[in-house]
Chains A and B, each alone.
Chain A
């Protein structure tokens, strides 16, 4: 087949312009794959058609495009780039959210653990603190007590060591030798103080009573009462000896001598 004659016959133009019949089209489709010259000739004719159409172009009013886009508005895909970008950013955002969620949960767990630990620490510390406070209060109270006692003792020492203070030792009477009471008698003020060194505790309903023996007669010198150490009793103007008996609570006008516990003479 003379391919150049074929190309120059005008069959390609009839094909490109769309007026070739089915037989011609079939033949041309076969030959274009067989001969690159035919393919090239078709391409050249197509270029000519496009250029010719451009040369004969007739402008269209702007609203035609708008009408077309309106007609096809539901057939357009959402702009691909934007969609992809949106999806990417959405994906990024979701990843971020996931990351933060995971981080938040981890932080929450860590925080909760620390909270529990710190709460336990706090609880223990609080208990320790309360215990210490109680201990301290006890110590402070004890301290106050000791200070008071110390002051009392100092006062008594001053009292006992004061000038003009007469000391009367009152040992136990026969049968009650284990008892001992010491009496301090201020010769200036005539005040009497009694220190029960060793004396049994008075039974219920009973009290120890001090007697001053003045010229052989017992004179009431006061009740020892609940006083535990150095007790101040009634002032005694004159006495040669002192004695203590156990009497009914409130005291007796005269001593029951069978209940005599201790007795001592005043050394003058």
Chain B
């Protein structure tokens, strides 16, 4: 049996940049399920979410040179890739078409958490979002889960950008406070 190497975050990043398979294996073993959780909250379909997860790891592998430790932790960077890739999948034409077929009553872009019974509603951020009041919840849905920019949300909801910004910050702060770590 081969010895499994352990890495500090610095060593891991350096080894990934050296294209070491062992480092990739370690990265996957340690982060795949957490990132999968992040993806599933945005892409509920398990088959699609697994595809997204693969896409995310390929991106991480191929874009590791772009990761700058000064800007934040490795996980934060990977989380960002996972979230944006998930949103790209959700907002992609194919996904939107299939969603329309499934839920004909929705003429707006569906709110993943609000429009469908979601088996993973009770975990992670998604669970915390449900505890928020409606005016906060919709902002988190549109920005975090659907990737709309704040000015787009302001237009969609017909409220001032400053208000969107303030409410969103407050909502996220509340979310964080619900899980004191």
Contact = CB atoms under 8 A, between A and B. Distances in A.
Contacts of B79: 18, 49-50, 53
B21 A10 contact: no
A21 B49 CA distance: 26
Contacts of A188: none
B114 interface: no
Given A13-B176, A48-B179, A49-B75, A64 B168 contact: no
B181 A57 contact: no
Nearest to A55: B124
Nearest to B50: A64
Q: Per DSSP, are chain B's interface residues mostly helix, strand or loop, or mixed?
A: helix
B13 to A, nearest CB: 15
Contacts of B173: 8-10, 13
Interface of A: 8-11, 13-14, 16-19, 21, 24, 29, 42-43, 45-61, 64-65, 67-69, 71-72, 75-77, 79-80
Nearest to A15: B72
Interface in B10-36: 15, 18-22, 24-25, 28-29, 32-36
B75 A59 contact: no
A14 B168 contact: yes
Nearest to B32: A60
A47 B169 contact: no
B181 A48 contact: yes
B144 A53 contact: no
A64 B61 contact: no
A74 to B, nearest CB: 10
A259 B118 CA distance: 166
Interface of B: 15, 18-22, 24-25, 28-29, 32-38, 40-41, 49-50, 53-54, 57-58, 61-62, 71-73, 75-76, 79-80, 83-84, 120, 123-127, 143-144, 149-151, 165, 168-173, 175-176, 179, 181
B57 A53 contact: no
Given A53-B37, A71-B54, 11 more contacts: A10-B171, A13-B173, A17-B172, A21-B149, A50-B75, A50-B76, A53-B34, A53-B38, A56-B34, A64-B50, A79-B21
A55 B62 CA distance: 27
Contacts of B120: 56, 58
A80 B18 contact: yes
* Most central of A43, A49, A54, A58 by chain B CB within 10 Å: A58
Contacts of B172: 10, 13-14, 17, 19
Contact of B169 (A14, A68, A75, A77): A14
Contacts of B75: 46, 49-50, 53
B84 A53 contact: no
Contacts of B143: 19
Contact of B32 (A42, A50, A65): A65
A17 B32 CA distance: 18
Contacts of A24: 165
* Most central of A46, A56, A68 by chain B CB within 10 Å: A56
B130 to A, nearest CB: 13
B147 to A, nearest CB: 8
B20 A76 contact: yes
Contacts of A59: 33, 36
Contacts of A72: 24, 58, 61
A75 B37 contact: no
Contacts of B73: 43, 46-47, 50
B28 A50 contact: no
21 contacts: A13-B175, A14-B169, A18-B83, A29-B71, A43-B73, A46-B72, A46-B76, A50-B79, A51-B179, A56-B34, A56-B127, A57-B34, A57-B37, A58-B123, A59-B33, A61-B50, A65-B25, A65-B29, A68-B28, A72-B61, A77-B18
A60 B33 contact: yes
